[in-house]
Amino acid sequence: LLLLLLSLTAVKKQVCTMSEFGNWCLIESDPGVFTDLVDKFGVEGVEVAEILTLDQIPTEFKDSFGLIFLFKVTGESQSQGTVLPHAPHIFFARQMINNACATQAIINILFNIDNEKFSLGDRLSNYKGFMMGLDPESRGMTMMSMDDIRQIHNSYAYQEGFSMEQKKATKDDDAFHFVGFVPIDGRLYELDGIRGGPIDHGEFEGEWTQKAQEVLQERIQGFAMGELHFSLMALVPDARIAANAALSSAKAELVDAGVLSSQEDSIDELEADGEHADMVRQAKRAKFDVDEQLRKRGQWEKENSRRRHNFIPLYLQLLREMAKAGSLANATKAAKEKYAERVREQQQKVMDNATNSNK
């Protein structure tokens, strides 16, 4: 609890600051949040997955539709690609709304996807059709007027426990920004709403994710040593679709072999022995994958529900009880030490990754 409270101020600054222009809140860089966000937009066939290391990009995420990169805005954070002020073959909307960069990055990616595994849904298809004939600034202004999109976006704001006077950001405040990366016509583009146009990072051969890894590696190395404020996610095919298809195929084989009478039959009680042992094992593995996807979605739903709940009164009451019991001072000291240790461990990981990348 105390470890959470020590980081509460920093977290709130990243995820809950409200803009004076349109009241768009900053939201957390989390795959559960972003997946639920695109689901509520009406998008079908996609989900968002977290990327833990850059090495995963060209291997585990080679089938992704796009990448979402969060970074702390500093003097070193500027991209080195070529800005294209006029790129009619690319959907690009300028960011005209404070704190809307998360949704801006997602929509810029979604509107550039051309894949049969993916569907924008009626809501975004209508918006895209209307905005295609507009310039990037007008597209950004149109997004500012999308009340339904803004309401969905703001539903992921953490509940504040206190009423605090809003103040304008200063040079000492941390600022964070989301951008998107997408492959279009054999080239890698970065879609950053606060820039003058799409950023061209050049041609790629083979998997586009290999090029993206190289660009992001160079980008991150340009930040100061020890900088930890990065997050990377991928927009990927909905894993439930492949899992359900594999289970359906495995059960169909069992039906053909006479092990099951229909695909609606349960495989839970089947024994993986005899002449059909391999088929049964394959079906059970497929069932496990389906169950794992259901568990993951259930966990995301639970976490999103907690984000919307105000826990501050509970935290304050617990602190009062600890103070009455005389344990608050020691617990605070222990929490600070544990927090400092975590920071040191994270800094060491960043330095180790940088050293390994340069070998």
Q: Which of 344, 358, 352, 339 is nearest to 4 (CA)?
A: 339
Q: Is 177 a catalytic residue?
A: yes
| Two tokens, residue 126 | 């209508």
Q: Catalytic one among 101, 153, 201, 276? A: 101
Task: With beta carbons less than 8 A apart as the criterion, state whether 110 and 38 touch.
Answer: yes
The C-alpha atoms of residue 174 and residue 12 are separated, in whole angstroms, by 11
Q: What is the 8-class DSSP label of residue 155?
A: T
Distance CA 140, CA 151 (A): 17
Catalytic residue among 25, 153, 177, 276: 177
User: What is the C-alpha separation between 12 and 170, in angstroms, rounded?
Assistant: 16
Residue 309 annotated among the catalytic residues of the structure: no
Sign of the dihedral defined by the CA atoms of residues 218, 222, 226, 232, in that order? negative
Q: What b/e readout covers 52-65, taking b as 16+ CB neighbours within 10 angstroms?
A: eebebbbebbeebb
Residue 83 burial (C-beta neighbours within 10 Å; 0-12, 13-18, 19+): middle
Q: How far apart are CA 358 and CA 149, in angstroms?
A: 42
Measured CA to CA in angstroms, residue 213 lies from 152, 229, 329, 357 at distances of: 31, 18, 46, 11
Q: Taking Cα atoms as reference points, which of 48, 188, 169, 164 lies closest to residue 112?
A: 188
Q: Which residues carry out catalysis?
A: 101, 177
